[in-house]
Chains A and B, each alone.
Chain A
Amino acid sequence: MTATPGATPTIVLVGHGMVGQRFLEALAERGLTATHRVVVLCEEPRPAYDRVQLTSYFSGKTPEELSMTDMEFIKDHGIELYVGDPAETIDRDARKVTARSGLVFDYDVLVLATGSYPFVPPVPNKDAEGCFVYRTIEDLLAIEEYARSRATTGAVVGGGLLGLEAAGALKGLGLTSHIVEFAPRLMPVQVDEGGGAALLRTIEEMGLSVHTGVGTQEIVTDASGAVTGMKLSDGSELATDLVVFSAGVRPRDQLARESGLTVGERGGIAVDEQCRTVGDPHVFAIGECALAADGRVYGLVAPGYEQAETAAATIAADEASFTGADLSTKLKLLGVDVASFGDAHGTAEDCLDVVYSDSRSGLYKKLVIGRDGTLLGGILIGDADAYGTLRALTGSVPPVSPESLVLPAGAGGGAQLGPSALPDEAVICSCHNVTKGTIRGAVTEHSCTTVPEVKKCTKAGTGCGSCVKILGQLVTAELEASGVEVDKGLCGCFSQTREELYEIVLALRINTYQDMLDRYGRDGARGGDGCDVCKPAVASIIASLAPTIGASGYVLDGEQAALQETNDHFLANLQKNGSYSVVPRIPGGEITPEGLIVIGEIARDFGLYTKITGGQRIDMFGARVEQLPLIWARLVDAGFESGHAYGKSLRTVKSCVGQTWCRYGVQDSVRMAIDLELRYRGLRSPHKLKSAVSGCARECAEAQSKDFGIIATSNGWNLYVGGNGGATPRHADLLAQDLSDTELIRLIDRFLMFYIRTADRLERTSTWLERIPGGLDHVRDVVVEDSLGICEELESLMAAHVANYADEWATTINDPEKLARFVSFVNAPDTPDPVVGFVPERDQIKPDLPLLTIGHRPLEGSAQR
């Protein structure tokens, strides 16, 4: 069977990994997908995914989330993607590739991106049951399955980068974990002896057993052929139920070899600087399968991307070349920062080391300096904050002494060398090869004023993310340098940020808006009426801190009533025709049949439109303002309370049925959701808060799209933060793992109070996490490690909120003076607003609004969802 070649020239890509996908994108960017037929043969059962983040599968990422392939992209560019159908033979004379399925493709250009395969040392029984490699999602699924059902102990052969990740993953699966490394230290390629020692201590403290300087001689099996242990070169035997080989990778060049292409002595398809194979101009090789012109096989993704760009440019007849790449890496292994850059091992002649080592805190920093003072490279373990600056400075003489660059701040002379010291050509983002000059240009020429804007404009920081911190510093520095007076004030009335106003309110116990405005407002604003921005913002701060600062916790009390947006003022959600919707709280989405009947009867009696919300409760639409107290009198009577659907406050905590009913559930997710919803109900915050609790990793409650989401594990709960749906979806980040009930609640208390304290007005946790300096790591330091020493205060603020909560609808319906406000007309309290009209639709009602001549034009703040 032969696939018909079109009249257009054909590019066949063999291999759809990260580099292959980047190659396709580079083709599309150059318009080559329009002029060529593009065929992709992919061996794995799924299209390209993020192999660098493979281990995050074990912290809850699904294979779908790891995917890097936008099927729309494939479709839009007419790319023929054959998944699970690897190329089997290449006939270079006839320029044909045959796939396993029997399909044959003629090519004009063939690109090999076959990647690499895990090296398994040739020890006896290496293929026994319970032996695995760590390379693909399928490998992970197999390891997970085996670990769950058959193993209590696991061993990883290889103490390199992937080996450590694999060992961490085994530990996460609840196994006692060992690492066996033949070299005398961990990560022998990246770090030196001192760095390895610092790493070893930190990793052993995490409860992993490390055996360095020993080789694996044999895998021991039982009668059935399953792994029971391994024999080591020092004569000892290690009992283990599972072995993961992670002893490095080798280029997959078999296909090229068989087709007669030149391969290197130690493997790798030999290519020139244009990534064209030596001897066949129609064939290219890119990524881990290629032996680059400088004689190296690059196992990192950034050089692979560069090769993909080079190959695509060459095919498009643009000039490009790949002459070699920087092997600098920065990563977080098992929570430890590890970075190496430039000539990390000091191979240059006459070079000197500057070393700072603190074993007690697991810190190791080494800089390699040339005779003339040039920074040649270095290694950072435990604290790699300076990585971005140092890597960019490599090759030049740093403006301050090398010692001061590795000494910790405060240790006498520890200089903080800012990114302003870098030259414009310094590469800040090595994933996307973005220079400091380009980033500055984004600010000065493209008017970007925030890190997210710069990321979008330049792509910097959108790869591994290790440069985001330095990116933020650069953007701020550039804005200041270009004289942009960044007025960070909340509004025309206050020059302070929301965070600063919060600190003032808390520290000085200021409990009225007027007092705030008159004492801390801008000059022209004091004594005035404020505005629609600061009034609700300050009201929210006062409400969040009410019990602590001696304010009323009831948002309609006294002055507070005049500060609230209409939703909070009428404790209901304003709809487009001036009517309101009503949402009673249904904690965790659990409701009795009696409760459902009450809601149904009320909706029927008041003629309300009903709809099930995304947050597992029921919204009743079309209530006139004067009906709200009547509706709530019945709801409160039936035991319902405010759902705060109208407030910038906790909305719902969704849940799945969990362990109680579901055969997969591992914890009681409904119970936890109810506990959390009742704990945080009524908590005013900078923006709305959503949460969910899933009873197992299948995540039916969609917790990872919430501000704080909880996923049950067999050992407790994993807490995710900063998720969001809406217009800019964001998956939540894992904050902490395997928490007990008490630990979970304490951590959420701290997290929420820290968010309330430091976020901007109308800033969801997702944008807040992206914005605050240090990001997730900083938040984790503060709320988990208590690095600022404020956790006790955060907890006590939350305790005060919980102790003082009262249902504001119950309070309102018992207060005649407040009830008097719930009228359409002050001079005709019994007359309903005639503009609020309805017409039938699908057996219910919908608003009937007059046609307008002015179009809708939402303003700032109103488009938030």
Chain B
Amino acid sequence: MTLALETTDLKVQLQLGDDWFTVCDLSLLVPGRGVAALLPDGRQVALFRDRAGELYAVDNRDPFSGAAVLSRGLTGSLQGRPFVASPLLKQRFDLRSGQCLDDDTVRIGTYEVRAT
């Protein structure tokens, strides 16, 4: 995770193995709102940017419903932990660790993300 600089031509990149995969222009990420990206292997990632400019990337698939919708959830912070709430049944997931805040047994995948 990297603090993004406020310039218009920065790109958002995800780490896949040893490589950085370019997703989109940073300007397409509205603070507090997510977008979904399709990876070359067919997986889906939800990307978020918070008010301070921090970027996060987690699996887009909601493990409770099976639908690929986490990028459309609302974000927030709980005691300093940034989270996204599933738009379907409202379970919250820690954006840093992928841990579900409402069910200890559930965790989703996370990705390294940077703006460069």
Interface presence of A419 (CB below 8 A)? no
Q: How far is the CB of B11 from chain A (nearest CB, A)?
A: 11
Interface presence of A828 (CB below 8 A)? yes
Residue pair A828, B38 in contact (C-beta under 8 Å): yes
Residue of A nearest to B28 (CB): A826
Residue pair A827, B82 in contact (C-beta under 8 Å): no
Residue pair A565, B75 in contact (C-beta under 8 Å): no
Residue pair B42, A859 in contact (C-beta under 8 Å): no
Question: Which of B31, B63, B77 has the most chain A CB atoms inside 10 A of its CB?
Answer: B77
Residue pair B61, A835 in contact (C-beta under 8 Å): yes
Residue pair A860, B90 in contact (C-beta under 8 Å): yes
Q: How far is the CB of A850 from chain B (nearest CB, A)?
A: 5
Q: Which of B9-67 contact A (CB under 8 A)?
A: 23-24, 28, 30-33, 35-38, 42, 44, 47, 50-51, 61, 63-67
Residues of A within 8 A of B31 (CB): 562
Interface presence of A774 (CB below 8 A)? no
Residues of B within 8 A of A566 (CB): 69, 72-74, 87
Interface presence of B1 (CB below 8 A)? no
Q: Which of A527, A532, A574, A858 contacts B69 (CB 8 A)?
A: A574
Interface presence of A834 (CB below 8 A)? yes
Residues of A within 8 A of B36 (CB): 824-826, 833
Interface presence of A528 (CB below 8 A)? yes
Interface presence of B3 (CB below 8 A)? no
Q: How far is the CB of B34 from chain A (nearest CB, A)?
A: 9
Given contacts A825-B36, A831-B38, A532 and B67 within 8 Å (CB-CB): no
Q: Which of A838-864 contact B (CB under 8 A)?
A: 849-852, 854, 856-862
Interface presence of A492 (CB below 8 A)? yes
Residue of B nearest to A531 (CB): B76
Q: How far is the CB of A660 from chain B (nearest CB, A)?
A: 42
Given contacts A566-B73, A831-B38, A826 and B47 within 8 Å (CB-CB): yes
Interface presence of A529 (CB below 8 A)? yes
- Taken together as a complex, chains A and B put the C-alpha atoms of A576 and B66 apart, in Å, by 9
Residues of B within 8 A of A856 (CB): 64-65, 89
- Taken together as a complex, chains A and B put the C-alpha atoms of A527 and B91 apart, in Å, by 24
Residue of A nearest to B64 (CB): A854
Interface presence of A109 (CB below 8 A)? no
Interface presence of A578 (CB below 8 A)? yes
Interface presence of B5 (CB below 8 A)? no
Residue pair B72, A833 in contact (C-beta under 8 Å): no
- Taken together as a complex, chains A and B put the C-alpha atoms of A827 and B89 apart, in Å, by 27
Q: How far is the CB of B33 from chain A (nearest CB, A)?
A: 4
Residues of B within 8 A of A532 (CB): 73-76, 85, 90, 92
Residue pair A859, B38 in contact (C-beta under 8 Å): no
Q: Which of A775-796 contact B (CB under 8 A)?
A: none
Interface presence of A336 (CB below 8 A)? no
Q: How far is the CB of A79 from chain B (nearest CB, A)?
A: 43
Interface presence of A134 (CB below 8 A)? no
Contact residues of A: prevailing secondary structure: loop
Residue pair B38, A862 in contact (C-beta under 8 Å): no
- Taken together as a complex, chains A and B put the C-alpha atoms of A858 and B90 apart, in Å, by 7
Interface presence of A195 (CB below 8 A)? no
Interface size for B (C-beta < 8 A) is 43
Residue pair A862, B30 in contact (C-beta under 8 Å): no
Interface presence of A535 (CB below 8 A)? yes
Residues of A within 8 A of B75 (CB): 529, 532
Residue pair B106, A854 in contact (C-beta under 8 Å): yes
Residue of B nearest to A491 (CB): B76
Residue of A nearest to B50 (CB): A529
Residue of B nearest to A534 (CB): B76
Residue pair A858, B24 in contact (C-beta under 8 Å): no
Given contacts A826-B24, A857-B103, A859-B90, A531 and B66 within 8 Å (CB-CB): no
Residue pair A531, B88 in contact (C-beta under 8 Å): no
Residues of A within 8 A of B32 (CB): 529-530, 535, 562-563
Given contacts A566-B87, A578-B68, A849-B67, A531 and B78 within 8 Å (CB-CB): yes
Residues of B within 8 A of A862 (CB): 88-90
Residue pair B64, A574 in contact (C-beta under 8 Å): no
Residues of A within 8 A of B63 (CB): 852, 854
Question: Which of B66, B72, B74, B79 has the most chain A CB atoms inside 10 A of its CB?
Answer: B74
- Taken together as a complex, chains A and B put the C-alpha atoms of A725 and B64 apart, in Å, by 28
Interface presence of A382 (CB below 8 A)? no
Interface presence of A217 (CB below 8 A)? no
Interface presence of B102 (CB below 8 A)? yes
- Taken together as a complex, chains A and B put the C-alpha atoms of A563 and B73 apart, in Å, by 10
Residue pair B67, A578 in contact (C-beta under 8 Å): yes
A521-545 CB mask vs B (1 if < 8 Å, else 0) is 0001001111111011000000000
Residue of B nearest to A527 (CB): B51
Residues of A within 8 A of B51 (CB): 514, 527-529
Q: How far is the CB of A473 from chain B (nearest CB, A)?
A: 34
Q: How far is the CB of B107 from chain A (nearest CB, A)?
A: 11
Given contacts A825-B38, A854-B106, A856-B89, A576 and B65 within 8 Å (CB-CB): yes
Residue pair B67, A577 in contact (C-beta under 8 Å): yes
Q: How far is the CB of A559 from chain B (nearest CB, A)?
A: 8
Interface presence of A751 (CB below 8 A)? no
Q: How far is the CB of B22 from chain A (nearest CB, A)?
A: 8
Given contacts A529-B76, A529-B82, A826 and B35 within 8 Å (CB-CB): yes
Residue pair B78, A859 in contact (C-beta under 8 Å): no
Residue pair A570, B72 in contact (C-beta under 8 Å): yes
- Taken together as a complex, chains A and B put the C-alpha atoms of A607 and B52 apart, in Å, by 42
- Taken together as a complex, chains A and B put the C-alpha atoms of A558 and B69 apart, in Å, by 22
Residues of B within 8 A of A527 (CB): 51
Residues of B within 8 A of A828 (CB): 37-38
Interface presence of A561 (CB below 8 A)? yes
- Taken together as a complex, chains A and B put the C-alpha atoms of A483 and B69 apart, in Å, by 42
Residue pair A857, B64 in contact (C-beta under 8 Å): yes
- Taken together as a complex, chains A and B put the C-alpha atoms of A577 and B28 apart, in Å, by 25
Residues of A within 8 A of B77 (CB): 528-531
Interface presence of A459 (CB below 8 A)? no
Residues of B within 8 A of A861 (CB): 90
Q: How far is the CB of A834 from chain B (nearest CB, A)?
A: 7
Q: How far is the CB of B44 from chain A (nearest CB, A)?
A: 8
A558-598 CB mask vs B (1 if < 8 Å, else 0) is 00011101110110001011100000000000000000000
Q: Which of B50, B67, B78, B102 contacts A492 (CB 8 A)?
A: B78
- Taken together as a complex, chains A and B put the C-alpha atoms of A493 and B80 apart, in Å, by 12
Residues of A within 8 A of B37 (CB): 825-828
Residues of B within 8 A of A834 (CB): 42
Q: How far is the CB of A561 from chain B (nearest CB, A)?
A: 7
- Taken together as a complex, chains A and B put the C-alpha atoms of A493 and B72 apart, in Å, by 21
- Taken together as a complex, chains A and B put the C-alpha atoms of A855 and B47 apart, in Å, by 26
Residue pair B88, A576 in contact (C-beta under 8 Å): yes
Residue pair B30, A561 in contact (C-beta under 8 Å): yes
Q: Which of A535, A576, A578, A859 contacts B102 (CB 8 A)?
A: A859
Residue pair B66, A849 in contact (C-beta under 8 Å): yes
Q: Which of B24, B47, B68 contacts A833 (CB 8 A)?
A: B68
Residues of B within 8 A of A531 (CB): 74, 76-78
Residue of B nearest to A859 (CB): B90
Residues of A within 8 A of B76 (CB): 493, 529-533, 535
Given contacts A561-B30, A565-B87, A825-B38, A835 and B66 within 8 Å (CB-CB): yes
Q: How far is the CB of A573 from chain B (nearest CB, A)?
A: 11
Residues of B within 8 A of A825 (CB): 36-38, 44
Q: Tell me the B residues contacting A by CB distance below 8 Å.
A: 23-24, 28, 30-33, 35-38, 42, 44, 47, 50-51, 61, 63-69, 72-79, 82, 85, 87-92, 102-103, 106
Which 4 residue pairs are nearest across A and B when measured between Cβ atoms? A531-B76, A562-B32, A566-B87, A578-B67
13 extra A-B contacts, CB within 8 A, seeds A566-B72, A825-B36: A528-B51, A529-B32, A530-B77, A535-B74, A561-B33, A565-B87, A574-B88, A576-B88, A577-B66, A851-B66, A854-B64, A859-B89, A859-B102
16 A-B residue pairs with CB within 8 Å: A529-B51, A529-B75, A530-B76, A532-B92, A535-B32, A561-B30, A566-B74, A577-B65, A820-B28, A824-B38, A825-B38, A826-B35, A833-B44, A854-B106, A857-B102, A862-B89
